[in-house]
């Protein structure tokens, strides 16, 4: 190649790898496997060593992680957060061990740790108090995500141990347990959201959310593994881990001291098998020289410490044949492609199907009919196709064309702006959407109807006994038809009808959640019920009134307006009202202590020192005041505590609404 072609190739590789780095670290949505990324990075390193005159100063070989997201305050790391060199083979580890021995001799030991598949975090404590939590960012600066990290229960807000430094930093990894991931992903699907691909992406996306209240609803966890302070407190890394564990920090128990490379290789082999039995994902093993003085002697490169390396497991993958692509239609109308595979054994289970996520994924893989594909089950809960073996592609094979019409009802599919999924909009005429909505309605978190399950609903629909949720309340008139159903005896019928009748007592927020309005999950349904009090108020509320309700954004508000714009939905609600379902909130009457706040309206926001928000609410109502759900011109006072939302403060200021604290409120009722 000419010099011009070499430089052009290197610049193109820098651009591509920087984009992959941004996708991974900033967007938390990687579009390339770790192994492929590392191979491309090694290729770029080789070219930069060979042609240093063409090295790009913006090359990812000179940086760690990605750029700084604009949504958070950028903070300079006191100690740079460098990344570790990666390897996937034994020889690289032996070469690393040889370099260490040449530098410091044979009198040393290693510490082996699990390499967690999460988001790196740096915690700074001042006088025992958690002062800052900062992401890795680009290695020298990161994002201040302190409020979000404080929601993680395993991270102490205070360290009360004696003899700790006035200021110290401790580093670790934020992650999500697989069980929590599965539960939360299911909830995302319930409200029509696209599920996350794996726990790492979910954890990273959660840490970078703007609203810490939303973060607190997602059970994140953390392991800590690196202590920094001005004065060196301990002689070895192992001693440091043992002590920070005593200070109250979560430290992984699966760590060992190794005397030589053979010990390390045995540890790696042990966890390659055992990692699938952990409750969380790991993608390798980290090896560190134990003694801090020896670490200092070994030093650093521009990007990595010379005294540590990480061995990364290649995700479990197998080769098989794509038999066909089918499409599933969900309750919300989202159409998801599924790869049907020639059965193959992978990570201890037989795999017949793999997720393809969406049309973009099919296009990225360039899938053709009867392709031989590689299927992976590493950090993924569900197996997925990672690439195609082009050498085995059948001649004249046709590309997989994403369906243009619903496979169930034939309606033309629509892709909404800003969404990756295609949707069938025929919600009242598409069988899986109808069945899915009824199954959602009877579910435990909604109407919790005993004696009914998903299979029974499917069976009833197929036999023409039900076509919408209202038909459940007419089943008592179809006794003869019910008796004809196989394995559905009189006792089963009796229990089912009893469960349906008892569901009429379920509170308004449960009914509202059960209606299946897109984006209205269990928590949102509670907020709406509390904010509007009745279904009529909800149906008639303006966009502005809906957005004024705590935690209701424009997307949810628009979805609610769209739902109530359809006459068939209004008719269904009227029918359910006549059947006795609860469409207004039942509030406990609070005995009045005085009328000092009579006809005064309040919104409570923030965290308070002397009272909880619920206590302040009771005090206001006991004295004749009324609590509003959001900031509007009707509001008399905003009771403001610490960490109040900036949008509420801004809106209250614009409307000239007085701000009072809890002491001023108490003076008003004294």
Give CATH for domain 601-669.
Answer: 3.40.50.10190
The answer to whether the beta carbons of residues 630 and 547 sit under 8 Å apart is yes
CATH H-level superfamily of 74-312: DNA ligase/mRNA capping enzyme (3.30.470.30)
Each residue's pLDDT tens digit, 511-551: 999 999 988 988 889 889 988 999 999 999 999 889 888 77
What confidence category does residue 109 fall into, taking pLDDT thresholds of 50, 70 and 90? very high
Give the 3-state DSSP-derived string for 294-305, with helices as H, strands as E and coil as C.
Answer: HHHHHCECCCCE
Cα dihedral across residues 260, 263, 267, 269: positive or negative = positive
- The predicted model gives 78-106 an average pLDDT of 92
Max CA separation in the chain (angstroms): 89
Radius of gyration of the chain (CA): 29
Each residue's pLDDT tens digit, 319-370: 999 999 999 998 889 999 999 999 998 866 788 999 898 899 999 999 999 9
Cα dihedral across residues 518, 558, 424, 192: positive or negative = negative
Residues of the chain above pLDDT 70, percent: 95
- The predicted model gives 108-134 an average pLDDT of 95
590 pLDDT higher than 80? no
499 pLDDT higher than 80? yes
Architecture of the CATH domain 431-505:
Orthogonal Bundle (1.10)
By DSSP bridging, strand 110-116 and strand 282-289 are antiparallel
For residue 158, give both structure tokens: 């205070």
- Domain 508-578 CATH (choose: 3.40.50.720, 1.10.150.20, 3.40.50.300, 1.10.260.30): 1.10.150.20
135 pLDDT higher than 60? yes
What confidence category does residue 300 fall into, taking pLDDT thresholds of 50, 70 and 90? confident
Full strand arrangement of the beta sheet holding 659-660: 626-627, 601-605, 637-640, 659-660
What confidence category does residue 409 fall into, taking pLDDT thresholds of 50, 70 and 90? very high
115, 312, 526, 648: the active-site residue: 115
Burial classification of residue 91, based on how many CB atoms lie within 10 Å of its CB (0-12 exposed, 13-18 middle, 19 or more buried) = exposed
Residues 6+ apart with CB under 8 A from 503: 447, 448, 449, 581
Supply the pLDDT for residue 613: 79
Task: Please state whether 284 falls in left (phi above 0), alpha (psi between -120 and 50) or beta.
Answer: left
For residue 5, give both structure tokens: 């072609």
What confidence category does residue 576 fall into, taking pLDDT thresholds of 50, 70 and 90? very high
85 pLDDT higher than 90? no
Residue 608: strand, helix, or coil: coil
Q: Per CATH, is 317-414 categorized as 2.40.50.140?
A: yes
- The predicted model gives 143-171 an average pLDDT of 90
Q: Lowest mean pLDDT: which of 74-78, 139-143, 211-215, 397-401?
A: 211-215
Supply the pLDDT for residue 70: 55
Question: Which range has the top average pLDDT, 180-184, 205-209, 495-499, 588-592?
Answer: 495-499
Give CATH for domain 3-62.
Answer: 1.10.287.610
Helix (H) or strand (E) holding 654: helix 646-654
Rounded CA gap, 248 and 154, in Å?
9
- The predicted model gives 417-425 an average pLDDT of 85
The answer to whether the beta carbons of residues 416 and 334 sit under 8 Å apart is no
Burial state string for 3-33 with b = 16 or more CB within 10 A and e = fewer than 16? eeeebebbeebbeebbebbbebbbebebebb
Which DSSP string corresponds to 92-140? HHHHHHHHHHHHH-S---EEEEEEESSEEEEEEEETTEEEEEEE-TTSS
Supply the pLDDT for residue 65: 54
Q: Which residue has the higher pLDDT, 390 or 348?
A: 390
68 pLDDT higher than 80? no
Helix axes 613-622, 662-669, angle to 10 degrees: 20
pTM, rounded to two decimals:
0.58
Q: Which residue has the higher pLDDT, 102 or 210?
A: 102
What confidence category does residue 6 fall into, taking pLDDT thresholds of 50, 70 and 90? confident
Instruction: Evaluate whether 431-505 and 508-578 have a shared fold.
Output: yes
397 pLDDT higher than 60? yes
The answer to whether the beta carbons of residues 225 and 172 sit under 8 Å apart is yes
Supply the pLDDT for residue 24: 67
Residues of the chain above pLDDT 90, percent: 53
Q: Which residue has the higher pLDDT, 643 or 319?
A: 319
Q: What are phi and psi of 573, to 5 degrees?
A: -65, -40
Which DSSP string corresponds to 371-425? -EEEEE-SS-SS-EEEEE-GGGPPTTPPBPPPPSB-TTT-PBEE--TT-SSEEE-
What confidence category does residue 66 fall into, taking pLDDT thresholds of 50, 70 and 90? low
- The predicted model gives 472-482 an average pLDDT of 93
Domain boundaries, the chain: 3-62, 74-312, 317-414, 431-505, 508-578, 601-669
Give the DSSP letter of residue 527.
Answer: H
Which DSSP string corresponds to 200-218? HHHHHHHHT-S-HHHHHTS
What confidence category does residue 645 fall into, taking pLDDT thresholds of 50, 70 and 90? low
Question: Of the candidates 396, 338, 346, 336, which has an alpha carbon nearest to the alpha carbon of residue 374?
Answer: 346
Question: What are the distances in angstroms from CA 197 to CA 135, 183, 318, 337?
Answer: 21, 13, 19, 14
Burial classification of residue 259, based on how many CB atoms lie within 10 Å of its CB (0-12 exposed, 13-18 middle, 19 or more buried) = exposed
The answer to whether the beta carbons of residues 657 and 638 sit under 8 Å apart is yes
Supply the pLDDT for residue 194: 67
Q: Which residue has the higher pLDDT, 354 or 589?
A: 354
> How confident is the prediction for the chain on average, in pLDDT?
88
The answer to whether the beta carbons of residues 154 and 250 sit under 8 Å apart is yes
**CB hemisphere CA count around 310 (13 angstroms):** 22
Rounded CA gap, 487 and 474, in Å?
21
Rounded CA gap, 333 and 645, in Å?
34
Supply the pLDDT for residue 219: 83
Supply the pLDDT for residue 471: 96
605 pLDDT higher than 90? no
The answer to whether the beta carbons of residues 121 and 134 sit under 8 Å apart is yes
What confidence category does residue 383 fall into, taking pLDDT thresholds of 50, 70 and 90? confident
Burial state string for 41-68 with b = 16 or more CB within 10 A and e = fewer than 16? beebeebbeeeeebbbeebbbebbbbeb
115 is known as an active-site residue: yes
The answer to whether the beta carbons of residues 199 and 178 sit under 8 Å apart is yes
């Amino acid at each position: 190649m000419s010099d011009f072609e070499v430089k052009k190739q290197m610049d193109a590789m820098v651009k591509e790898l920087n984009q992959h780095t941004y996708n991974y670290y900033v967007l938390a949505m990687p579009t390339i496997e770790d192994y492929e990324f590392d191979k491309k990075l090694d290729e770029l390193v080789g070219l930069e060593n060979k042609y240093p005159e063409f090295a790009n100063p913006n090359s990812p070989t000179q940086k760690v992680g990605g750029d700084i997201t604009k949504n958070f305050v950028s903070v300079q790391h006191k100690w740079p957060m460098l990344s570790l060199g990666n390897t996937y083979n034994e020889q690289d580890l032996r070469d690393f061990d040889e370099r260490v021995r040449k530098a410091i001799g044979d009198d040393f030991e290693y510490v082996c740790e699990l390499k967690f598949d999460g988001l790196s975090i740096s915690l700074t404590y001042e006088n025992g108090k958690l002062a800052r939590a900062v992401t890795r960012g680009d290695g020298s600066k990161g994002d201040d995500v302190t409020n979000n990290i404080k929601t993680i229960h395993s991270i102490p807000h205070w360290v009360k141990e004696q003899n700790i430094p006035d200021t110290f930093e401790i580093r670790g990894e934020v992650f999500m347990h697989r069980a929590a991931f599965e539960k939360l992903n299911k909830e995302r699907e319930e409200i029509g959201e696209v599920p996350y691909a794996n726990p790492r992406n979910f954890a990273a996306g959660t840490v970078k959310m703007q609203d810490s209240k939303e973060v607190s609803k997602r059970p994140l966890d953390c392991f800590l593994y690196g202590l920094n302070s001005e004065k060196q407190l301990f002689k070895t890394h192992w001693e440091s881990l043992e002590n920070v564990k005593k200070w109250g920090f979560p430290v992984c128990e699966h760590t060992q001291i190794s005397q030589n490379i053979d010990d390390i290789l045995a540890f790696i082999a042990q966890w390659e098998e055992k990692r699938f039995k952990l409750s969380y994902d790991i993608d390798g093993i980290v090896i560190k020289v134990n003694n801090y003085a020896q670490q200092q002697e070994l030093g650093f490169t521009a990007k990595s410490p010379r005294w540590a390396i990480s061995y990364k497991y290649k995700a479990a993958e197998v080769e098989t044949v794509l038999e066909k692509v089918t499409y599933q239609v969900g309750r919300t109308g989202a159409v998801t492609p599924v790869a049907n595979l020639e059965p193959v054994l992978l990570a201890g289970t037989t795999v017949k199907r793999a997720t393809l996520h969406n049309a973009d994924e099919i296009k990225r893989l360039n899938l053709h009919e009867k392709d031989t594909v590689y299927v992976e089950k590493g950090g993924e809960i569900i197996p997925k196709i990672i690439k195609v073996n082009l050498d085995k592609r059948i001649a004249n094979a046709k590309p997989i064309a994403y369906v243009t019409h619903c496979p169930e009802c034939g309606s033309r599919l629509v892709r909404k702006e800003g969404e990756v999924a295609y949707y069938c909009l025929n919600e009242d005429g598409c069988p899986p959407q109808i069945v899915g909505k009824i199954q959602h309605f009877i579910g435990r978190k909604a109407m919790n109807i005993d004696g009914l399950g998903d299979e029974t609903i499917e069976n009833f629909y197929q036999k023409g006994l039900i076509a919408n949720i209202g038909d459940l309340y007419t089943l008592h008139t179809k006794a003869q038809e019910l008796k004809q159903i196989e394995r559905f005896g009189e006792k089963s019928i009796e229990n089912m009808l009893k469960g349906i009748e008892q569901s009429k007592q379920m509170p308004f927020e449960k009914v509202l959640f059960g209606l299946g309005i897109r984006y209205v999950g269990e928590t949102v349904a509670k907020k709406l019920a509390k904010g509007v009090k009745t279904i009529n108020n909800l149906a008639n509320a303006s966009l502005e009134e809906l957005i004024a309700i705590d935690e209701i954004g424009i997307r949810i508000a628009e979805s609610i307006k769209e739902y109530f714009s359809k006459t068939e939905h209004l008719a269904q609600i009227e029918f359910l009202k006549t059947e006795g379902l609860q469409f207004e909130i039942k509030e406990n009457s609070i005995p009045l202590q005085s009328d000092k706040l009579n006809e005064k309206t309040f919104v409570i926001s923030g965290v308070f020192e002397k009272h909880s928000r619920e206590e302040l609410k009771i005090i206001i109502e006991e004295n004749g005041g009324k609590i509003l759900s959001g900031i509007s011109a009707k509001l008399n006072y905003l009771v403001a505590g610490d960490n109040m939302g900036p949008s509420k403060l801004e809106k209250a200021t614009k409307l000239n609404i007085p701000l009072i604290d809890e002491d001023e409120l108490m003076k008003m009722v004294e």
